[in-house]
Amino acid sequence: MPANPIYLDHAATTPLLPEALAAMQEGWRVWANPSSPHAAGRAARAALEGARARLKALLGWHGEVIFTSGASEALALGIARAKCGQVLVSAVEHDAALRAAGDAQRLEVGADGLVNLKCTKMHLNDTKRPLAVVQQVNSETGVVQNITEIAQVVHAAGGVLLCDAAQGAAKLEIPAEADMVVLSAHKFGGPVGVGALLVRDYALVEPSGGQERGYRGGTESLPLVLGMVAALEAGSGWLKSASALRESLTAQLIENGAEIVAAEAPRCPTIAAYRMPGKSSAAQLIRFDGAGIAVSAGSACSSGSLKASHVLTAMGYAHPGEVIRVSIGRETTEAEIARFVDVWKEIRG
């Protein structure tokens, strides 16, 4: 491995924050099962409920919180157990949402990656209490959906909106207009293996297990929950500098022949997708990796196969096989961005 490797794949996963690690270490000392009725179990339950209350306060969420093993489980739970008939899912959702939704109606997006509200209205069927599944931030392009407008359309049809905020949490405000919201701790400096489904009201979902007030099966992992909350408490003061770094990177790459995917759409300040004309994504990844720079060609859950991006395909993008994703974290420096640009120039030739 080259000396001083550069990590620009924070949308896939983020380094564990020291605050999260410290909270987890404390959590391992509270080893009892939170469902046990004895004193040790009650102490674990008190710590778990304290973490739940802190999470809600941090996010300004006034509904309920169901802890899960991550975003994939939260999406599956929300989609499968929602008390709804018709299911609609945007065509650019994460693979986990698309798998959970099966053959559900796809909501079209424009060339900018934004959900087409006119078409969404046409698809909604208020006689079947529709469930619409729309992400807050796209993991491949960084495009931010207008959740407020989408919620208005869905609610006007008597429907329920499930918003995947895995990429947006701790960077953008939680979409308070949504009825259910999905979180994933390892996307904001927390541990892998824990997330949450925020639910406005338990009445929206069918019970499905013995824990989490009967809405999820499996013993809660107190250390991981504590690590997730501690990561959220670490704050987002680094985002201003991250946004400046991405703007600097974008300007330099445009000067060197790059095309920016969804350049005119509102985008998260930490994610961007760039096309290098004439160079395949696979070739770029190999060269960047050889130079000690970690980037990706899309969602980490699908880019391992380097198959055509369903996100770029849904957007009608003409050159999906020449796009890579760069995602910035709180540790990213100007020197690392400069090194990335140098390697970009070398690859482009």
Q: What is the pLDDT of residue 303?
A: 46
- State yes or no: is 301 an active-site residue: yes
Catalytic residue of the set 84, 119, 268, 301? 301
pTM over 0.75: yes
Q: What is the mean pLDDT of residues 196-212?
A: 96
Name the percent of the chain lying above pLDDT 90: 93
Question: Minimal CA–CA distance to 160: which of 83, 99, 106, 101?
Answer: 83
Token pair belonging to 120: 């969404």
Tell me the pLDDT tens digit for each residue of 214-241: 999 999 999 999 999 999 999 999 999 9
Cβ within 8 Å of residue 10, ≥6 positions away: 270, 327, 328, 329, 332
Q: What is the pLDDT of residue 299?
A: 60
Q: What is the mean pLDDT of residues 160-169?
A: 98
Q: What is the DSSP string of 212-254?
A: GGGTB-S---HHHHHHHHHHHHT-STTHHHHHHHHHHHHHHHH
Lowest mean pLDDT among 43-52, 119-128, 339-348: 119-128
